[in-house]
Amino acid sequence: MGENDSSDFETWISNFCSLYGHDYYVEVGQDFIEDDFNLTGLSSIVPYYKEALDFILDLEPEHEIKIKDQALVQQSAEVLYGLIHARYIITKPGAQLMNEKYSKGQFGCCPRYACNGSKLLPIGINDTPGVETVRLFCPDCFDLYLPTSSRYLNIDGAFFGSTFPGFFIKMYGLDNPNLRPSDDLKIFGFKIHEGSNVGSRMKWLRATPSTDEELREFDEVD
């Protein structure tokens, strides 16, 4: 492929982010990737690190890549981009880009009825690539949910990282659990007794202190 016109040249990054199912990703700034400090430690995790980095930055490789290696380099580039992405979104410009997506509700709404459609944030429970796929975090009920669409079920959680939602809610002042308890299960309008074999066991998960005694208890748990 020869030279492209600079006007319709699509960078690897913007192409990657526009792929089907990749709409959780933001475009990492070129200057962030070019700063070696930001990439500390990644060279030991990602195979074909140098080639993959050139790939992401649309640079001509120093050495010709063998055809049999090309698929591997492409894969490495995706992992490397994901890991850089996880670091980028906990910087100020990265979080701002994520906020644009968040405020449009692009990560979906909390499926919990009592949360009344509060917006979700992507999270990786594990920071090592290849362990868990991406999950969604609700700042109101602080619980984790599976993405509703299967297209997100093969996105690695490590590409968002375990710190991102915590960092994000702190940065935007959303860091207050806003739990609304759900209704009790009833049979013909009657509550089911706790001692019954189907009695309620999970109320604690969505409970907030409300009575005076509970508030005192809450102050004392520290």
Partner 1 sequence: MAPEHHQFAQPQQDVDGDGDEYISDSGSDFNEQWIDWFLGIKGNEYFCDVDVDYILDKFNLTGLNTEVEKMSKVIDMITDGLDEEYEIGDKERDHLEANANKLYGLIHQRYIITTKGLNKMHLKYKNADFGYCYRVYCELQHLLPIGLSDHVGVSTVKLYCPKCEDIYNPKSSRHAQIDGAYFGTTFPGMFLQTFAAEVMPVHPVERYIPKIFGFNIHQYAKLARWQELQRNKQIKRLTESGINVANVMNGYNINPDGSPLKPPVVSSGSRSRMRSSRSDK
- Binding residues (CB under 8 A) for partner 1: these are 111-114, 125, 135, 137, 139, 142-146, 148, 162-163, 165-167, 169-170, 175-177, 179, 182-183, 185-189, 192, 194-209, 214, 217-218, 221-222
User: Could you tell me the smallest distance in angstroms from the CB atom of residue 165 to partner 1?
Assistant: 6
Whole-Å CA distances, 158 to 32, 122, 196: 18, 10, 42
In angstroms, what is the minimal distance from the CB of 103 to partner 1?
Answer: 19
Q: Please count the residues of the chain.
A: 222
Instruction: Return the amino acid letter for 157.
Output: G
**What gap in Å lies between CA 109 and CA 102, rounded to an integer?**
10
Task: Provide the token pair at 107.
Answer: 């990560």
Token pair in block for residue 82: 């994901």
Closest separation in Å from C-beta 26 to partner 1: 19
Least distance CB 116 / partner 1 (angstroms): 10
Task: Name the residue nearer to partner 1 (CB basis): 57 or 114.
Answer: 114
9 vs 113 by CB, closer to partner 1: 113
Please answer whether residues 14 and 25 qualify as being in contact, where contact means their C-beta atoms are separated by less than 8 angstroms. no
Q: Amino acid identity, residue 100? A: E
**Cα angle value 57/161/152 (rounded, 5°):** 80
* Minimum CB distance to partner 1 smaller for 4 or for 210: 210
> Which CB atom, from 130 or from 177, has the smaller least distance to partner 1?
177
With a CB cutoff of 8 Å and minimum separation 6, the contacts of 196 are none
Q: Closest CB to partner 1 among 32 and 142?
A: 142
- Compute the least distance from the CB of residue 102 to partner 1, in Å: 15
Residue 27 contacts residue 14 (beta carbons within 8 Å): yes
